[in-house]
Amino acid sequence: MLNLSVILEDSARRYPTKDAFIFMDTHLNYAQINGAANQVANGLRAAGIKQGDKVGLSCLNLPYFPMIYFGILKAGAVVVPLSVLLKRDEVEYHLKDSDAKAYFCFEGTAELPMGAEGHAGFERVDACEHFFMITAKPTDPSPIAGTKTLGMLMNGQSAETETAQTSAEDTAVIIYTSGTTGRPKGAELTHSNIMLNSILCTDITTCTRDDVQLIVLPLFHIFAMVVLMTAGIYKGTTNVLLPRFDGQAVLGLMQKHKVTIFAGVPTMYWGLLNADTSSFDLKGIAANLKMCASGGASLPLNVLENFEKKFNAKILEGYGMSEGSPVVTFSHSDFGRKPGSVGKPVWGVEVKIVDEDGNEMPIGEKGELIYRGHNVMKGYYNKPEANAQTIKNGWLHSGDVAIKDEDGFFFIVDRTKDMIIRGGLNVYPREVEEVIMKHEAVSLVAVIGIPDEQFGEEIQACVVLNEGTSLSETDLMAWTKERIAAYKYPRKIEFLDALPMNATGKILKKELRKK
């Protein structure tokens, strides 16, 4: 038997009075988080939620997230974390697709009316019986008349509970893929999947109970949920929460709380590089910062180099996906790192690069990255056809193009779905982006394929320039052409003030293609 919530219970026994989560001026210790999770579990049981039922959760990076997350698990139910940016139609789709019986949703703000959108989506799903509004203060009434609140669910419930006896192979979380192609699919991750990934993450980050983690990556996303939240709780770290990325806010919290571990996506490192640091003690921040991790997308080499130079802190890159619970490969202090590489397979996971027929590719040759091990999901919820395409003989086919070098380090080249086929020749956007990023005037770039009558697809670069610089389309095109094969340079360049991103900071290439 195994229930992932044992990690919280264990840390609550070991470090009851230690700060578990800090949000603004609120400090909550491990005993308080565990007690609140017990109240949520008892409230859910009283509402009729049974073992195996699915429960949706839309919440910003607030202490309510871990309370509800572990409360759902303690009740033996399945957590369905949802993006805070979903609109009512999308909420409806996710609740229906996951067969959710209950839904917790934060009330939101005027700029982000999560509560209104979430409730409107919930109203369309007959099978979802319970809606609980998470209000800013537990005693606040719901902004939508007639709806129950998290405070009402917890009120009068005991701060002790008997945790449901789930199996290691029972589903703990259904995490939805970002849906860059087609509608999002729910990856079923077991208690064992997440437990083992959490444990190995603490080995990668050399995390101990003395560490202070800053969590600005959204907790509804698998990266923050496992690499930071569950791994941190397992070790008994203190976790500082920030609901929205802002370079100065991040630096301020790093300085105030003496943050030792930070994880982000590449756009966050780019944001920190471009933030005004004049009012911060960068040397002090760097002295405390022992570990930075990057994932979610490939980190441009010049961003990595400039960040490490400015902050005197190494960034270790890894590779993962929702279907892999999430970590598949990672740079590790034991075997070093190579800039641009996502490292080597993590403990208990095998990785291969194969061609379309499943044959392993020679060293240095491009192919699809596939993997197998304890981290592979059970499958997509109620999607047998997608499962048959994705998991073959125990190997999960990632859809990512990669190479392996002679030292066993893996390098992600691109998504197979992002690959551009120009006149019959394959062009990987990542390769073109790396070249363009080397231009001193370029701050950020995304390369996409656009329809073309002659070549089938043509290459377009969407570019954000560094502040105070200017560059013409012709000059950048000529500069790139000198440094890359003739069929790879962009024939169209568009200068933008910013690139569209999702809630986790990934660049939304599908939005750029619509323009």
Express each pLDDT in 406-418 by its tens digit.
999 999 887 767 8
pLDDT tens figures, 124-141 = 999 999 999 999 999 999
Helix (H, G, I), strand (E, B) or coil at 433: helix
pLDDT tens figures, 281-294 = 999 999 999 999 99
CA distance 232 to 230: 5
Confidence of residue 180 (pLDDT cuts 50, 70, 90): very low
pLDDT of 174 > 50? The answer is yes
CA distance 124 to 236: 40
CA distance 138 to 313: 39
> What domains sit in the chain, N to C, each tagged with a CATH number?
6-14+28-189 (3.40.50.12780), 420-514 (3.30.300.30)
Q: Which residue has the higher pLDDT, 420 or 453?
A: 420
Write down the pLDDT at residue 156: 97
Label residues 85-121 b or e (16+ Cβ within 10 Å = b): ebebebbbbbbebbbbbbbbbbbbeeeeebbebbbbb
Write down the pLDDT at residue 427: 80
- Please, are residues 218 and 208 in contact by the beta-carbon 8 Å criterion? no
Could you give the residue ranges of the DSSP H alpha helices within 236-335?
A: 247-257, 266-273, 282-288, 301-311
pLDDT tens figures, 147-160 = 999 999 999 999 99
